[in-house]
Amino acid sequence: MFVQKNTLTARVKLVNRHNLIKELPMNQQHSQSKRFDLLAWIITIMFGATFTLTPVVIHFYHIESFLRIIIAFVPMMMFVLFLLRFNHTVKSLDELGRRIHVETLVTAFVIMALFSVLGPCLSLAFQWKEAGEILQSIILLPIYYSIAAVIVRRRYL
């Protein structure tokens, strides 16, 4: 019922010999630019910027009272926007895309757990106090997510 793999490839090439470019492996094709979500990137960058800069602004400009409370919650508002956009992006993906996202998140948390254990170990071994604090920080989650994305995408794409 199933033909040998070599025969399959030959047959595909025969049928589509005028469209061989379409038969290139994924990693040799250009990614579809329509998948680039500009709004998602803007919101992500805005969240990162507000999360980093808000404490600096409050401390350096000695902002007090009600305005301080409003400014302090700007990163939270940006994070809610980020989550909404993230949810929208995941919903717009097909089943493989969603699977990759879920596996990436799980892998990212595993990597985060590994580094959380590694941090205190480095602190004890090299008397490097900052290592424990830095590696346990949830701020590194985007980096862990990026590492996990590379690992998971290699498995499926």
Judged by CB, which is closer to another protein: 46, or 149?
Answer: 149
Of residues 30 through 49, those in contact with another protein by CB under 8 A are 32
Say whether residue 106 binds another protein (CB under 8 A): no
Q: Which of 6, 59, 65, 94 binds another protein (CB under 8 A)?
A: 94
Judged by CB, which is closer to another protein: 1, or 138?
Answer: 1
Judged by CB, which is closer to another protein: 13, or 129?
Answer: 13
Which DSSP string corresponds to the chain? -PPPHHHHHHHHHHHTGGGGGGGS-GGGSPPPGGG--HHHHHHHHHHHHHHHHHHHHHHHTT--HHHHHHHHTHHHHHHHHHHHHHHHHHHTS-HHHHHHHHHHHHHHHHHHHHHHHHHHHHHHHH--HHHHHHHT-GGGHHHHHHHHHHHHHHHH-
Say whether residue 15 binds another protein (CB under 8 A): yes
Say whether residue 101 binds another protein (CB under 8 A): no
Give contact residues for another protein (rule: CB under 8 A): 1-3, 8, 11-12, 14-16, 19, 22, 25-26, 32, 93-97, 99, 155-157
